[in-house]
Amino acid sequence: QVQLAESGGGLLQPGGSLILSCAVSGLTLDYYVIGWFRQAPGKQREGVSCISSSDGSIYYSDSVKGRFTMSRGHAMNTVYLQMDSLNPDDTAVYYCGVPRVPCIVAVTAPPSVSYWGQGTQVTVSS
């Protein structure tokens, strides 16, 4: 049984930083693409970042490029999302997911995902 569990969300002020974690069980990330997604109130879920299984390349959406950094942990079945220079537009529920599509599609097109985590809320507000 595949399970993804996000943690690390919270409330913070504009300009702040936060690290999200996603622990994956039931599959080995060496063989699967893994990504972070978010859904803001009243908006569609969108891809934020993604790590390719083939070569470890990391992709970002234009809205977070240069501010967010995705990585894999030493345990290799955990991924992280370091979020810096947060602003109110980053307020959303953040999900990790296993896309059915390549990373370049996962961060630019509506999500096509096999497995989702339960999500963690990130609120940026002064």
Range list of β-strands (E), the chain:
3-7, 10-12, 18-25, 34-39, 46-51, 58-60, 68-72, 78-83, 92-99, 113-116, 120-124
The pLDDT profile of the chain, 126 residues, written as one tens digit per residue, is 999 999 999 999 999 999 999 999 998 888 899 999 999 999 999 999 999 988 889 999 999 999 999 999 866 789 999 999 999 999 999 999 999 999 999 999 999 999 999 999 999 999
